[in-house]
Structure 1
Amino acid sequence: MIKDFLKEYFAWYALYFLLVITFLITFFLYHLPFSYFITSLLFTGTITILVSIWQFYLYYQKRQELAANLLLGKDSLLNSPLEKAFLAHYHNLEKEQLQELSYYLEREKNLQNLVKMWSHQMKVPLSAISLMTQTNQLNPQDIDRQLLSLDNYVDTLITYLKFHHHKTDFRFERIHLKEVVVEIVKKYRLLFLHKGIDIEISGDWVLKSDHKWLSFAITQLIDNALKYTKKGGKITIRMANSLVVEDTGIGILKEDIPRLFEEGFTGYNGREYQKATGLGLYMTKRILDDLGLTISITSDLDQGTTVVIKN
């Protein structure tokens, strides 16, 4: 510690010794009484030693204060302008680190809850397939529907994890949106047939976007329309410099609409029908924001829901 102290105040001690040498040369050149120099040296040397002892004590106390992390005390010894600037910077860094730690802890908690929720969601189609096997009622169409549900859950989970690790791989290209929509509808054809839901597709929209991520976002919208449209209903998809997905489903409560894009929000319908994960629309909004597109939702209870995507 003494070595560090000397390094800290090296400039002052060097200045003192420089002054001593200067006075010694002056006394020598002008043939002044050397006894006066010795007396002055003893006097200034004594003062220097006493001040050094006091400064070393303060230095030791400051080191102890730093080591004990007692930087929030009102009686802090760190009170010079430079030290106060250091404390302010230290507190800002500490606050940022605490906020970052809180964010990561909250994210870890959300991921744990997500895994628990996903385990429950994926058990439903797995249990259905298991029941079919046990009762020897292996209907290929029923199995395909359950496998489609599993595929959607896994795809959503992987996409969600990519979001939280900032792993997006956008590749913009010219896209005919009708081709994307038709591809998704074909993927869900068994569900359309199973629930007897009519699908009407009209128009087209040519835009520059990322095929994979845009497809994921639209898949979430069509998947929601299918979930909440009862048997015999209808889903209409129109395209003309925008995308409109309209269904004749159960609708959404007015008070739930402003919160639809919040992470983990399921709303009344999601809780009532046990079909929502609270992530689909959240990720859809995130993707569309990154793609430079906007999304809006209007709905009337027991009348249906309309989703509009546009530039």
Structure 2
Amino acid sequence: MSRTNVILPYLRIRLRTLALFAVFVLIFSAVFFLYDLPREPLWYAVLLCLWIGCILLVLDFSAFSRRHKALHALKSSITLELSALPKPKCLLEEGYQELVAILFEDKRQLSSSSERNRRDLVEYYTLWAHQIKTPIAAMRLALQSRDDEDSRELLMELFKIEQYADMVLQYLRVESPSTDFVLKRYSLDTIVRQVVHRYAKLFIRQKIRLDFQELDCEVLTDEKWLVFVIGQVLSNALKYTKEGTISIYLEDREKKILVIEDTGIGISSEDLPRVFEQGFTGYTGRMEKRATGIGLYLCKRILDKLSHTITLESEVGQGTRVKIRLGTVDTFDPYGNVRLGGEV
């Protein structure tokens, strides 16, 4: 806030003092007028008081402005400590600071308790997600030894369970402040083929045609996280495509825009702006009763952290086109400074 913007609040605070001074001047003027006393001493006294009052007012305003600037500067650090607060100049300010200290301590305790509970919850679900993989692996081995329709159907359902367990792990990791991203140059074709190979049985079982065009380019990214994102997008395409084709291709080789397009049921136009919101399932998700509202939210979060972008185009009954732009990433200049969104 500029000094000009501080003047009006200051004058409002000092309004009573200024009004009292004006009342005193009026009283003295009335007394001098009623008793027909000489006017010259009165005006001399008034001017002298006005001059001294203006000096004191300027000094007081300067001190007020400095304290206001100090408080304004504390906005960024007040959440960490209260020691930098200006010393109270009166009993009222001292009382306010005591109230602030009480609220600050309560907030600190609540924050500490909340963080402790969150950490316990993360540890529990991380342990659960890892331990659930043991019975999943045992069930897969048991089912693979049998070659019948029921076993194949159970293997597909087991694959979905494993997907959800992986989603829990990735959700916990991406929200963790200690998440590490290892950026290296990878072949996009190799990354996408990993994901396609993983979902090959679902393509075959659902009789969905795959139109895969060679992705002849390298991208600067984190392989583990990008594999997860592409897997989520491909999983959604398979989930909502009853028949037809899923196409994977590069739309722009320079900008490295990966497109995953399906001929599925599509998404309504009113739902499109919210598809990346946490927990949002939309009309399609409610009708199909298979959406969690987490997959696309996680994709957006992960790609934001990698400085990639994701957009989605869709029409009901026509299919969905997901575009992942991989040609931008946070890079560093020779001096170690971050260059946001640099072309790679």
What TM-score do you get using the length of structure 2 for normalisation? 0.55
Whether contact under 8 Å (1:205, 1:242) holds in the other structure is no
Larger Rg, first or second structure (1 or 2): 1
Structure 2 residue ranges without an equivalent (≥5): 1-89, 130-135, 329-344
SS at match of 1:262: coil
2:251 aligned with 1:229: no
Equivalent position of 1:184 in the other structure: 195
In 2, Cα distance between equivalents of 1:104 and 1:251: 42
In 2, Cα distance between equivalents of 1:89 and 1:188: 57
Q: How does 1:153-232 map to 2 (within 5 A)?
A: 153-202=164-213, 203-231=215-243
Deviation at 1:102, TM superposition (A): 8.1
Deviation at 1:99, TM superposition (A): 7.9
In 1, Cα distance between equivalents of 2:225 and 2:301: 10
In structure 2, do the counterparts of structure 1 residues 145 and 290 end up closer, same or farther at CA, with 3 Å as the change threshold?
same
Whether contact under 8 Å (1:184, 1:219) holds in the other structure is yes
Q: How does 1:1-311 map to 2 (within 5 A)?
A: 79-91=91-103, 94=106, 139-202=150-213, 203-231=215-243, 233-239=244-250, 240=253, 241-310=256-325, 311=328
In structure 2, do the counterparts of structure 1 residues 269 and 100 end up closer, same or farther at CA, with 3 Å as the change threshold?
farther
In structure 2, do the counterparts of structure 1 residues 91 and 79 end up closer, same or farther at CA, with 3 Å as the change threshold?
farther
Q: Name the aligned partner's letter for residue 271 of structure 1.
A: R
In 1, Cα distance between equivalents of 2:173 and 2:206: 33
Whether contact under 8 Å (2:262, 2:319) holds in the other structure is yes
What TM-score do you get using the length of structure 1 for normalisation? 0.60
Deviation at 1:162, TM superposition (A): 2.1
Q: Name the aligned partner's letter for residue 228 of structure 2.
A: F
Whether contact under 8 Å (2:174, 2:302) holds in the other structure is no
Q: Percent identity, aligned pairs only?
A: 39
Q: Name the aligned partner's letter for residue 281 of structure 1.
A: L
Task: Give the aligned CA root-mean-square deviation in angstroms.
Answer: 3.6
SS at match of 1:143: helix
In structure 2, do the counterparts of structure 1 residues 146 and 167 end up closer, same or farther at CA, with 3 Å as the change threshold?
farther
Q: Name the aligned partner's letter for residue 197 of structure 2.
A: K
Whether contact under 8 Å (2:258, 2:323) holds in the other structure is yes
In structure 2, do the counterparts of structure 1 residues 102 and 289 end up closer, same or farther at CA, with 3 Å as the change threshold?
same
SS at match of 1:250: coil
In 2, Cα distance between equivalents of 1:208 and 1:186: 22
In structure 2, do the counterparts of structure 1 residues 102 and 264 end up closer, same or farther at CA, with 3 Å as the change threshold?
farther
In structure 2, do the counterparts of structure 1 residues 138 and 235 end up closer, same or farther at CA, with 3 Å as the change threshold?
closer
SS at match of 2:91: coil
Note the alpha carbon deviations across 1:225-267, whole angstroms, 9 max, x for none: 0001112x11111123111111111000111111111111111
Q: Name the aligned partner's letter for residue 163 of structure 1.
A: V
Deviation at 1:204, TM superposition (A): 3.1
SS at match of 1:200: strand
Structure 1 residue ranges without an equivalent (≥5): 1-77, 119-124
Whether contact under 8 Å (2:285, 2:291) holds in the other structure is yes
Q: Name the aligned partner's letter for residue 261 of structure 2.
A: E
Deviation at 1:101, TM superposition (A): 7.2
In structure 2, do the counterparts of structure 1 residues 150 and 167 end up closer, same or farther at CA, with 3 Å as the change threshold?
farther
Whether contact under 8 Å (1:298, 1:305) holds in the other structure is yes
Equivalenced residue count is 218
In 2, Cα distance between equivalents of 1:178 and 1:137: 34
